[in-house]
Structure 1
């Protein structure tokens, strides 16, 4: 059997399209990288993509070698030079391909584990990672505590290679496994079957990588927000309950350590402005709740505009979403007079649009009756759900392709996947269903939790009380691919964080399904 045959893989997203890709040579290509390059070429052509001999305007994907644990000068990094070097009108998706010999990668993992176990021993001159900013010690510690040693090393390799997307090849003379890293901190491990030949391993990983990168290239950001002409008066904003509830919720979730640290590029490495390629920082999570009085969603602003503490919100960190553009390329926002009006979170479209296929319910408040979405509040974070009580909480999985070919935040693909997942929620489709919470996992990214309206509860209270009661157990780890919940002796559904479904023939064998 040829493991890399198209039939060896789960179906890809229906919207994935052919892309234009090119390889850019660099003096860091080891024999393993050179061999894998040929496997990539074959996979690109087999999957129907366009492989260019040289980068030209319109190229969508550039792959180039980078050194392992050696800082690259920013003047040599394609993220900063590709447009000028190749005369491109915009920066394409750039992937640095790095080769880690097996023993070197194992030593790096051991050192990262030691860093996390005793971080003070790695301060100052004992800091082991060259080319990093002075503040990198704290940033790496936060990332390692969130995602373990692999995420810590991911941030090191990204900073040293001056590249957001990294393909790490692990092996000596032949490939044993690979990792794909991105901005949000995904680190899926691509491990081919041990019984496969070296050529089959390369072919299988290359085909999987091509499908994953085609998924990235085929979707687009949906942050082209529009503003309605009629701003909300400050006096009206001040009397609304939702903004007050948002501020309280931030404090409550802060006490429960839900939000992870905002990542700043400068906290890891000093480079020139990169705003044409990525934001200077990205925020970790967002949340929103419905305001019945004005029929709108009050949500956190985007963290890429400016850093802020989600646990200490002010009015200036809140935005008012009143709809979604007909083409789904952004939210429709209503400004508020008398306050700063930064754009809403990059997830604004999905937070509003997921209500469209769901029912509306009536809600009485202050002597008035309103028609409102069945989902009152939504909470998104770069966390996972280790366990949940199925009597209170419903898990609604995304379509299968999202587990094998993940998408990134602020994209139309993620908004589409979340809408489809929640549209299948029995708890939300049936307002009388006793379960008051539904959630979905976005592989490699995080969780989105929705709560229903419950009499006597303020916005988000249903969620934080479920956390306190163990009906919703949060974990820093996020599934990086296919996973499953199984029922424990206490009746709760558990995710085994150590479980890993290897990369291999599709459908998986019974041994892989256990």
Structure 2
């Protein structure tokens, strides 16, 4: 029983509203009890959203596709004249036998292949392949998650399973997180769900990037060796199936503005390396600017990060003359932010540089690693229980604090060249130090080849530990 789980110190007092939709009795009771819990904890609860509303709860029946004009994720701001778009959570109820049936149907689709119609209402044919690829990455539960998100036209879905009372619930989000909250007693159950809602709604996006001078001249750009190293790294990592297949959001549903609403927050991963000539971070661009296949990038898919804004709400970026100059990946601030709390090193020739040469983020997990060659650093404990989303101030702090605690990075003489952290429900971040004679990311892909770092599709959805087994440490997921 989760009684004293660590929570974040930065959770806010919020204004929340419950706007009922189509629902079963159990879904309505869950929504009402959540609102009662929020009210008891001192949050403002409203029957009708107001200009201060940050969170809206609503309900939709399982298997009844909602039109986008009825979906509060797309209409709440306009409908209720709000100052900003609220974070919408849709509660869906499934009987245990319904959940088992839908999960079995999802498993069958993954066996049959991407051309087979999934047999769920409201799923356009253009979504079949994307759903299939998501399911092959994360299993039947991720496939089912995406189906329900498409049907409800909502990213954050609370799927409650039970007959007369809840037995458990899954909370879905954009990146594919699906932690399961088991019903052991009402207080613990509703507190856990409420804390997850507050965690999501208390974060702020940090994608307000600012352009700084001077612009990079085309001839200077063309001379950068790091560009060739980035393009080769994309191919090498692609050969090793590190990157998940790009999601083209417009194929999932025909909704005006859907791509902007989702892809501005979504990333299949990103990678970046330090360039000495530019004295900045060369990184992949965001997928919201244009489709980016991370396994086959060109120089047009790169951006330059020169630093972080004083407000910490975005990166400082430099433009390249004659280039599209799309903004960097949504994890831009996270990528460069870890350098602020780590030492610099002097490279051969005397040039100063951050101790981290290259950084790689992906929606994958780690099955095991060799402790003599690779170091694992944990995000703060509260983030293991209550994860946060990419491109937020909270994840920036979590990643920064994790790598700040690295012995291998704080001591450049430490022989371990690779350091990583795992973000529950999300993926991992791997970094490499400068290794003489190797190009950017080579130490990482060689670590994958040598099984110094063993990658898996399985991502912990909550607390986990790595247990020592001889020279290796092996994942044990304690959240299940």
Give the TM-score band, short-chain normalised: over 0.9
The reply to whether residue 140 of structure 1 matches residue 140 of structure 2 is no
Corresponding residue number in structure 1 for 2:23: 29
Aligned mates of 1:143, 1:462 — CA distance in 2: 28
Corresponding residue number in structure 2 for 1:274: 258
| Contact 1:387–1:474 (8 Å) recurs in 2 | yes
Corresponding residue number in structure 2 for 1:434: 415
Deviates more, 1:393-402 or 1:333-342: 333-342
Corresponding residue number in structure 2 for 1:152: 143
Residue 298 of structure 1 aligns to a residue whose secondary structure is strand
| Contact 2:31–2:57 (8 Å) recurs in 1 | no
Alignment map for 1:349-428 (pairs within 5 Å): 349-364=333-348, 368-428=349-409
The reply to whether residue 123 of structure 1 matches residue 123 of structure 2 is no
| Contact 1:43–1:206 (8 Å) recurs in 2 | yes
Deviates more, 1:345-354 or 1:266-275: 266-275
Aligned mates of 2:405, 2:324 — CA distance in 1: 37
Q: Can you list the C-alpha shifts for 1:404-462, whole angstroms capped at 9, x where unaligned? A: 11110000100111000000000100111111110011111110001001111101000
Alignment map for 1:28-427 (pairs within 5 Å): 28-119=22-113, 123-124=116-117, 127-193=118-184, 200=185, 202-274=186-258, 277-279=261-263, 282-364=266-348, 368-427=349-408
Aligned mates of 2:126, 2:407 — CA distance in 1: 47
| Contact 1:98–1:168 (8 Å) recurs in 2 | yes
Alignment map for 1:456-495 (pairs within 5 Å): 456-489=437-470, 491-495=471-475
CA change 1:224–1:20 in 2 (3 A) is: same
Q: Can you list the C-alpha shifts for 1:254-283, whole angstroms capped at 9, x where unaligned? A: 000011112233222222223674337833
Q: Can you list the C-alpha shifts for 1:225-274, whole angstroms capped at 9, x where unaligned? A: 11112101111111111111100000000000011112233222222223
Corresponding residue number in structure 2 for 1:450: 431
Aligned length: 480
The reply to whether residue 14 of structure 1 matches residue 5 of structure 2 is no
Aligned mates of 2:295, 2:405 — CA distance in 1: 32
Aligned mates of 1:42, 1:56 — CA distance in 2: 18
| Contact 2:166–2:183 (8 Å) recurs in 1 | no
Aligned mates of 1:226, 1:137 — CA distance in 2: 38
Residue 125 of structure 2 aligns to a residue whose secondary structure is coil
| Contact 1:379–1:450 (8 Å) recurs in 2 | yes
| Contact 1:300–1:318 (8 Å) recurs in 2 | yes
Aligned mates of 2:90, 2:228 — CA distance in 1: 45
Pairwise CA distance, 1:44: 0.7
Q: Can you list the C-alpha shifts for 1:140-183, whole angstroms capped at 9, x where unaligned? A: 11011111111100000000001011000001111000001111
Aligned mates of 1:94, 1:277 — CA distance in 2: 13
Q: Normalising by structure 2, what TM-score?
A: 0.97
Corresponding residue number in structure 2 for 1:196: none
| Contact 1:440–1:448 (8 Å) recurs in 2 | yes
Residue 474 of structure 2 aligns to a residue whose secondary structure is strand
| Contact 1:385–1:474 (8 Å) recurs in 2 | yes
Aligned mates of 1:316, 1:419 — CA distance in 2: 28
Aligned mates of 1:281, 1:61 — CA distance in 2: 18
Residue 340 of structure 2 aligns to a residue whose secondary structure is coil
Which of 487, 501, 508 is matched with 2:479 structurally?
Answer: 501
Q: Normalising by structure 1, what TM-score?
A: 0.91
